[in-house]
Amino acid sequence: MLHSVPLSLALSVGIFPAVFYVLIDRLPPIWPTSKKALMIGPKHPESRTSIECPYSYIRQLYGKYHWAPFVHKLSPGLKDEEPVKYKMILEIMDAIHLCLMLVDDISDNSDYRKGKPAAHKLYGRSETANRAYYRVTQMLNATVQRFPNLAPFLMQNLEEILQGQDLSLVWRRDGLSSLPAAADEKLAAYRKMASLKTGALFRLLGQLVLENKSADHTMTILAWCSQLQNDFKNVYSSEYAKMKGSLAEDLRNQEYSYPIIIALEAPGGEWVTKALESGSPHNIRKALEVIQSETVRTACFAELKSSTLAGYEPRLLEHCQTFIETISISEGKTLEVTSLIGEFSWDSMGILAVGKPSIFGPGHVQEAEEMKSLARFACLLVWSPWPIILLRNLPVMRNATVRWIEWCKRTVEERKKEDLSYDLFSYLIQDSDSSLGHPEKATHQDLVFDTELAVFAGSDTIASTLNAILFFLAKDPEIFNQLRREVDAAVPFGCTLSHEALAGNPYLEGCINEGLRICPAVMSGVPRETGPEGATIAGVYIPPFTIVSVPTYTMQMDPRNFPEPDKFIPERWSSKPEMIIQKEAFNPFSSGPYACAGRPFAMMEMRLLLATVVRNFDLDFPPGREKQSFETLGGTGPLDCFTTQIPCYHLVFKRRRKA
């Protein structure tokens, strides 16, 4: 049950391209092509007037009620509790969305829609436009008559949609002269247009279902990601081009999109300007080379990654608040920090992976603790994997492993029974659905293994770094107070935290980087094989198929790379750059194609939790433990168990004293 819509409707995530909004993928113009015969003209002339034909045609292309999953997410009980309202909302959304596509196809003079002839090519431009206006007017009248309380939402958002449509048409008519000159202002103008044209459509749904505007922020994020996805498909997807009849339809129609605006400022951007002005085949071909360049792609996908990540923020903020409430119950008492942070990280991974924190809550930690215990031994097998064949049948290993795999299987089964949600598993489950036409299907066993990977790679790793940072903050009050001052300056005490306000603050970034440097999530690095040709590294030949690695901990604690490596010095990342000799040696998330895909989510999680803690509590060690060192914590210091494990330590959390 969703108790707080703006928080509980926070969307995935994300981390592109592995994680994206599955529900967006189900919306036009991205649905799989219908295999049913298309109706050109009325099936039953006696019951359907000719004015309905273009709308019936495009609706048959997409099917009815494609917004239903969103409605269910906003209000799971609406379909059963208020079936008439439920159906009315879906009819409204179908009408607005599909009629917008009818008009868009006319404006673009599109030949195809979903690989079939566009409606105006069959019925004529005038008849198709008239049908779109007729259907929208029909739904507005029905809303006023049957649900007058919903009519203001419909009229307001219709006005915004048409404002956005008008902006788009003016830009096409007047060209670049109608857009601001500065690059950032162009992007801001485009985002404003999308917020009106696409954003109002998504906000309309939230307002109709909830009868208020509490979900507007979340729906606007989703709308922007939907706009970006369609913009990218228009210039990067050959499959999309087949359905529309040509690649880069926006460019050919002298329309603007996010990649096109980015490309205007990229090397070779003059070709994009020429293509928008003349539209000759040569100019379009040269412009496409610029738009599809690595520079433009990187900038575009960075925006998409940032936008999808923003969807997680409300859920993480809610989770941070729960963490603070948990600590407040035992305020002033000695608390075991490692277990607190461990549970926080597990539940954060639940938000990312399956859309809810309770799946990895305290009731499920037993299986994980058993696997962590085995990991202290099994980490040795990373470098000598063949003994696994001998050891895997030992009762102690077999029983714990079976319990763990069974838990992963239960998690997958429970998640598959639920309605689609905005999380990693919604994407993975979609990929395993044979009805979606993917060339390579993920099997049920794949999903189980992905559960294992998500849990360990996404929770244990962040917990170790957070534990290290909190230890050093408690150890040095000066560092703690400096961090608090920076956080207070970014977000005044009493105001709501936001990731946007925290990201980029140098001292906070320095604290996180120092935690990652001193206590990387994977100390030994990730093993790699040299391949059939072997490898020559630094003049040394390494034979074929040899396992090699660069230990992250050793590299980041080498004084030749970082002077005074044992000291926690956040300033080395900002005001004391001389304390970094080889910045390339800082590699906590690995690099290249196998780099950690969860880095953006991990950074957001750490920023939000650390800011939440320093704003609300003072940290102290229990009496008699003030002099303990991180290197000898628990008698061993941090343990390399493939993922780093921090020995148990305790802190006293006291409510922040008023200034």
213: Cβ contacts below 8 Å, ≥ 6 apart: 203, 206, 207
10 Å Cβ neighbour count for 659? 5
What's the rounded Cα separation, in Å, for the pair 587 and 581? Answer: 14
Q: For helices 599-616 and 313-329, give the axis angle rounded to 10 degrees.
A: 40
What's the rounded Cα separation, in Å, for the pair 291 and 328? Answer: 52
The H-assigned helical ranges of 568-636 are 599-616
Q: What single string gives the DSSP state of each residue in 81-93?
A: H-HHHHHHHHHHH
User: Three-state DSSP class for 450?
Assistant: helix
227: Cβ contacts below 8 Å, ≥ 6 apart: 194, 198, 258
What's the rounded Cα separation, in Å, for the pair 353 and 426? Answer: 8
Q: Residue 193 is encoded by which pair of tokens?
A: 């247009």
10 Å Cβ neighbour count for 253? 15
Map tokens 């749904």 to a residue. 205
Q: What is the DSSP letter of 10?
A: -
Query: CA distances (Å), 101 to each of 120, 213, 480, 554, in order?
Result: 11, 25, 55, 57
Residues in a beta bridge with 653: 619
Q: Residue 86 is encoded by which pair of tokens?
A: 């439920």
Reference 182, options 260, 254, 261; nearest CA is: 261
503-521: b or e for each residue (b if 16 or more CB lie within 10 Å)?
Answer: eebebbbbbbbbbbbbbbb
Question: For residues 547 and 524, is the Cβ–Cβ distance under 8 A?
Answer: no
Q: Residue 404 is encoded by which pair of tokens?
A: 């763990």
Question: For residues 579 and 562, is the Cβ–Cβ distance under 8 A?
Answer: yes
Residues in a beta bridge with 112: 117
Question: For residues 585 and 527, is the Cβ–Cβ distance under 8 A?
Answer: no
CA dihedral (308, 312, 314, 317) positive or negative: negative
What's the rounded Cα separation, in Å, for the pair 607 and 151? Answer: 42
The burial class, CB within 10 Å (0-12 / 13-18 / 19+), for 57 is: buried
The answer on whether 596 is annotated among ligand-binding residues is: yes
Q: Tell me the binding residues for heme.
A: 596
Q: Tell me the binding residues.
A: 596
